[in-house]
Amino acid sequence: MIRSKIGLLLTALVLSVQISSAQLLAIPETAKSYPFVNKELNVFSNNAQLSAFMEKLYLQKKSGNQNINILHIGDSHLQADMATSIIRTTLQKEFGNSGRGLIVPYRVAKTNEPLNYRTTSKFLWKSKRCVFPNQPLPIGIGGVTINSNDSCANFTILTKNDTMLNYGFNKVTLFYQKDSTSYSFALIDSLGNRLGTITKDSINNQPFTSSASLPFIVNKLTVQLLKQQEQHDHATIYGVLLENGNPGIEYHTIGVNGAQYLHYSEAQYFSEQTKALKPDVIIISLGTNEAFALNFKQEQFYTDMQLLYVKLKQENPEAAFLFTTPACSYRRKKPNPRLPLAAKTIIQFTKDNNLSCWDLQGATGGDNSAINWKKNHLLRPDGVHYSRVAYELQGTLFCQAFFNSYNTYVANRPQ
């Protein structure tokens, strides 16, 4: 009897180990090896703070019934979505694709846009970026706002599929100024058929969002303004959420050229609207633009970080936070000496607040890493932005650290 019980326990232990091992992920490889990359430093610090998030990923991998939301906030490095597109597709191929997630009509606002979707309009929309706080129009979830008073205006969204991922959608959630004077919105397919209507009374009883489900999956849709009542006189749009109804990951990126911590914390509706995304983890990748100023002060930078963190935490108390340090770059003809100071401040802030951190700067050479990027022809001529190959490298390095963090959690997870 004793031997039988021992045998059962050993069998259970072996099965437990096999189940955990089956959940471990293969670490993605970079397209090319670079001598300045330090794999030992390419890690997420303070993994314990990501445990609840990692548990959802584990359950998704095991049963396929989880909806996981990742919100990544940044500057021009994120607006172009080059590194983050690598992250998004890598994670979705592993954990499931819930849709393209939040998009911002950057092109309609006359600025650059990611390559995996396209927004267009024949109408002239007013716009505002969060980096110009004194201009009219409020700022919400996207960091960029578009506005029109023309009831005939519209804009079209086209999502582009990845080789293995379909970014078609059958649910549209509009982030907009949802008041009694706002236009309603008709959702029109490429054949001119109305697939749905968004009004302030639509599904989603939230102060800034309304949703409409579509009868089938589409990759192209026109959002047409509708004047349904006499007092309707404007459309003020902050962003559009595109979903497909499947379990898996939605990887939402918000990036604005020139953005700093203070721009997001002072944006009127930004922090409040993030809770509509129900983020499981909020990643913040800022600091390049603060460090570009000659009067950069670590103390003020720390205070600006604290202000945004407190606002986001207040709106998303259950979310984990992961801060990242900016990769080094140049200011004019010399490496920017303030970027290492910014990285040290970010690291100290995460230690003081018991948060997780990904030190990209440290993993790619530390204080002198700008020289590494330039020597390997990975910087663009402006010395601040990177080549496509460099952004792909950064995205893959992030995924390596992410997968290692996940594997560590799974290997040590109580069974």
* 218 and 273 both lie in a single domain: no
Which of the two residues, 350 and 207, has the higher pLDDT score? Answer: 350
Lookup: tokens for 280: 């499981």
Domain that holds residue 270: 28-98+247-415
Note the pLDDT of residue 200: 85
* 207 and 129 both lie in a single domain: yes
Could you tell me which of 262, 232, 397 has the C-alpha nearest to residue 327? 397
pLDDT above 80: residue 15? no
* 351 and 410 both lie in a single domain: yes
CB 343 within 8 A of CB 349: no
pLDDT tens digits, one per residue of 61-95? 999 999 999 999 999 999 999 999 999 999 999 99
* 186 and 261 both lie in a single domain: no
* 118 and 74 both lie in a single domain: no
**Residue 71: beta bridge partners?**
252, 282
pLDDT tens digits, one per residue of 229-280? 999 999 999 999 999 999 999 999 999 999 999 999 999 999 999 999 999 9
Instruction: Tell me the C-alpha to C-alpha distance, in Å, between residue 189 and each of 173, 195, 219, 394.
Output: 16, 7, 9, 37
Mean pLDDT, to the nearest integer, of 37-47? Answer: 97
* 191 and 117 both lie in a single domain: yes
* 398 and 384 both lie in a single domain: yes
Give pTM, 2 decimals.
Answer: 0.94
Note the pLDDT of residue 367: 92
Lowest pLDDT segment from 93-102, 142-151, 203-212, 296-305: 203-212
Lookup: tokens for 359: 């030190």
Note the pLDDT of residue 368: 84
Note the pLDDT of residue 3: 47
Lookup: tokens for 181: 């004077």
Note the pLDDT of residue 138: 97
CB 63 within 8 A of CB 247: no
* 127 and 173 both lie in a single domain: yes
pLDDT above 60: residue 219? yes
CATH number of the domain at 46, please. Answer: 3.40.50.1110
pLDDT tens digits, one per residue of 24-37? 999 999 999 999 99
Lowest pLDDT segment from 15-24, 157-166, 249-258: 15-24
Domain assignment of residue 86, yes or no: yes
Rounded to the nearest 5 degrees, what angle is found at the Cα of 151, between the Cα atoms of 145 and 155? 50
Note the pLDDT of residue 22: 52
With bands split at pLDDT 50, 70 and 90, how would you rate the model's confidence at 4? very low
Instruction: Please give the mean pLDDT across all residues of the chain.
Output: 93
Domain assignment of residue 6, yes or no: no
Note the pLDDT of residue 202: 66
Contacts of 400 (CB under 8 A, 6+ apart): 27, 28, 30, 39, 42
* 45 and 138 both lie in a single domain: no
Domain assignment of residue 15, yes or no: no
pLDDT above 70: residue 21? no
Amino acid at residue number 128: K
CB 132 within 8 A of CB 202: no
Return the biggest CA–CA distance within the chain.
83
Domain assignment of residue 208, yes or no: yes
User: Into how many domains does the chain fold?
Assistant: 2
Domain assignment of residue 12, yes or no: no
Note the pLDDT of residue 204: 65
* 110 and 236 both lie in a single domain: yes
